[in-house]
Chain A
Amino acid sequence: MSPASNTPERYYNYAYLDEQTKRMIRRAILKALAIPGYQAPFGSREMPVPYGWGTGGIQLTAAIIGPDDVYKCIDQGADDTTNAVSIRRFFAQVADVAVTEDTAEATIIQTRHRIPEQPLKAGQVLVFQVPQPEPLRGLEPRETETRAMHAYEEYGLQYVSLYESVATYGRIASTVGYPTMVDERYLMSPSPIPKFDNPKLDDNEAILLFGAGREKRIYAVPPHTRVRSLDFEDYPFETQTWEEDCALCGARDSYLDEVVLDDAGERMFVCSDSHFCAERRAQGHVGRMADHQLAATPEKEPAQ
């Protein structure tokens, strides 16, 4: 008996959820794939992690994972953030699955707030953890109203909101969870990814699944689907750019996190995608602070 089989998690079914629940979730996934961008309600279960901590993404993963899968889990783009470590450990225990930090090697990538920098390939599934699936919720608190607005494709309110932003700030001031239009039919929240990642949603080769456990909704973007970020002709959609480049690997085209170095305003910028950055360093790319402790090889998890 391997040590893993004696942990409390192993008293449960393969991948934690019972088979009937998995089937119910798979049906919702199929429905969501058939109507890209549509929020399919599903009988979300109580999970052993709190709502808001990835219960939707975990249920999606649990419904589609099998022993042959290779699982990667990131939070804020990084494999070593605490909640990503915790969720990855969960599936390593309940699903006997191989885990990886390598984006290309993974068959299922569960993510919170980022899309990996390395383009995804056909056959991969990207599972998003979604806190609020309703893109219109900030404008209209009632679910009965927003469902009707989607049904009638009544998205004027969203454009008015963007216009108000332009009128107030001189630009569309939305930075994360920037609203998208899927296949010119459904307005969709991309989850709180930075708008930097929005272009990666468009015409992606991989299957993109979005799970909101607390709000009990699943939605999806099938491969090669048009996903357009809303904008105006005179105020076109634009993504974040940095004047700095990554202090560790020198990347100029990745999403950067800001690291405060001291209390005198000294700071450095590093890739948010930890695997992307490590791989570049392995290839010999060097940033201006390449010897910083953040570049140290992260502590490896004990072998399963």
Chain B
Amino acid sequence: MAYVAVKGGEAAISNAHRWLAEDRRGDPAVPELGADQVREQLSLAVDRVMSEGSCYDRDLAALAVKQARGDLPEAIFLMRAYRTTLPRFGYAQPVETAAMAVRRRISAAFKDIPGGQVLGPTFDYTHRLLDFRLAADGMVPDAAVEAEEPQTYPMATIASVFDHEGLLESDVPSADTGEPFDLTREPMSFPAGRDQRLQALARGDEGFLLSLAYSSQRGWGNTHPLCAEIRLGEVAVAFVPDELGFAIEIGELTLTECHMISTGAAGMETAPQFARGYGLTFGHCERKAMSMAIVDRALRDAEEVEVAAPCQDQEFVLYHSDNVEASGFVQHLKLPHYVDFQADLQLIRRLRREWFDREAALKEAAE
């Protein structure tokens, strides 16, 4: 009897989990995938899991991808559930992306900028043709040719290019020097400050932000974005331990940073200048960083103009961007709801009975 299947004991659950483990492993004749292979060869999956999982650890993210059978939102959930149990020692110093050891840096605003256009490892300009040689084993690609001259360091930022003329709004540190808002410790509150918004976007689902950014481009809250700069590379993380009182370097992060500038005219109270949207992710998540920058800019619109499109609406964007929340709540519909459904059944049956009675009475009256 199918109904009984929703009532399951301990044995049913553990058998299901054993089956899951078997499916995860796949054909045992095929060598098992190592977490190190995931880390090295599915590195963009690892990057996304670290980014949206809010936890920078390539090995754990690789393990999560393996355990989740390549289901990235599931892997992100595993990372979050691990991260939430970690003790907190404090806040690192803000990382300095201007001092990034750049591997990739491009700007769409100028033909050439100080430091030049550096393509780096990118899918851009590849022809999307399946490479059947990869299906054959053991191919080690030739190393890329190194540039003759080393890159300038530090690589000039797009902001510095605009600095002289004041064409671009500058990075003004917020007047509030208290601790930044932390969504992992406090519930969402509105109106949301930019720190809260950027944190939510950084943790937000890439697909959701991509579609929001796209909707904005298509006119639902257009910010007329132009990609002023994307940079990918490594930055140092510094921390001030209480017992030392000065900053020490504790590690290195790979980051993708994106500055979008809005080419639309600004308000008249200050001298006209370009406004910015900002995107930042762990690892190499360029699509996410660009989408985030566009949505950040669209949300800033709401500070000045009336909200007219989904991407400008703080509550709409921030409450629905988290894929761990969204995935859980959508999928909770799999849980039994038969108590609720029984109540609905009762109501519908009663309403139908009344409807038929009424129809019969009307018919009788007509005759």
Contacts and interface: CB of A to CB of B under 8 A. Distances in A.
A217 B189 CA distance: 12
Contacts of A143: 188, 190, 315, 319
A153 interface: no
Given A76-B338, A76-B339, A214-B325, A299 B10 contact: yes
B56 interface: no
B346 A240 contact: yes
B211 interface: no
A258 B342 CA distance: 7
A75 interface: yes
Contacts of B81: 46-48
B152 interface: no
B5 to A, nearest CB: 9
Contacts of A41: 186-187, 189
A216 B187 contact: yes
B6 A46 contact: no
A147 to B, nearest CB: 9
Interface residues on chain B, size class: 35 or more
Interface string B187-205: 1111100000000000000
Contacts of B10: 85, 89, 299, 301-302
B314 to A, nearest CB: 9
Interface residues on chain A, size class: 35 or more
B71 interface: no
Contacts of A6: none
Given A18-B85, A81-B7, A194 B324 contact: no
Interface in B331-367: 331-332, 335-340, 342-347, 351, 354
A287 to B, nearest CB: 17
Interface in B62-92: 77, 80-81, 83-85, 87
A175 B343 contact: yes
Interface in A34-58: 41-48, 50-53, 55
A16 B85 CA distance: 8
Nearest to A241: B346
Interface in A5-20: 12-13, 16, 18
B29 to A, nearest CB: 29
Given A44-B187, A75-B335, A176 B343 contact: yes
A164 B266 CA distance: 46
Contacts of B83: 46
B13 A50 contact: no
A130 to B, nearest CB: 12
A258 B348 CA distance: 14
Given A18-B87, A46-B84, A82-B13, A113 B337 contact: yes
B228 to A, nearest CB: 33
Given A44-B187, A176-B343, A240-B343, A53 B335 contact: yes
Nearest to A113: B339
A80 B9 contact: yes
Contact of B328 (A214, A260, A293): A214
B11 interface: yes
Contact of B8 (A13, A42, A85, A259): A85
Nearest to B314: A144
Given A50-B327, A131-B332, A256 B9 contact: no
A40 to B, nearest CB: 10
Contacts of A80: 7-9
Contacts of B188: 143, 216
B265 to A, nearest CB: 29
Interface in B254-286: none
Contact of A175 (B80, B84, B190, B344): B344
A39 to B, nearest CB: 10
Nearest to B186: A43
A259 B83 CA distance: 43
B3 interface: yes
Given A47-B81, A76-B336, A131-B329, A258 B6 contact: no
Nearest to B316: A141
A260 B342 CA distance: 12
Contacts of B342: 194, 255-258, 272
Interface string A70-104: 00000111101111011001000000000000000
Contacts of A53: 328, 332, 335
Task: Tell which of B80, B332, B336, B339 has the most Cβ of chain A within 10 Å.
Answer: B339
Task: Tell which of A18, A51, A142, A173 has the most Cβ of chain B within 10 Å.
Answer: A51
29 contacts: A43-B185, A46-B80, A50-B327, A50-B328, A50-B331, A75-B336, A76-B339, A80-B7, A80-B9, A81-B7, A82-B8, A82-B12, A85-B13, A112-B335, A113-B337, A144-B315, A173-B347, A175-B344, A175-B347, A176-B344, A196-B343, A214-B329, A240-B343, A240-B346, A255-B342, A257-B342, A258-B345, A259-B3, A298-B7
Closest 8 CB pairs of A and B: A52-B332, A51-B328, A50-B328, A216-B187, A175-B343, A52-B329, A46-B84, A41-B187
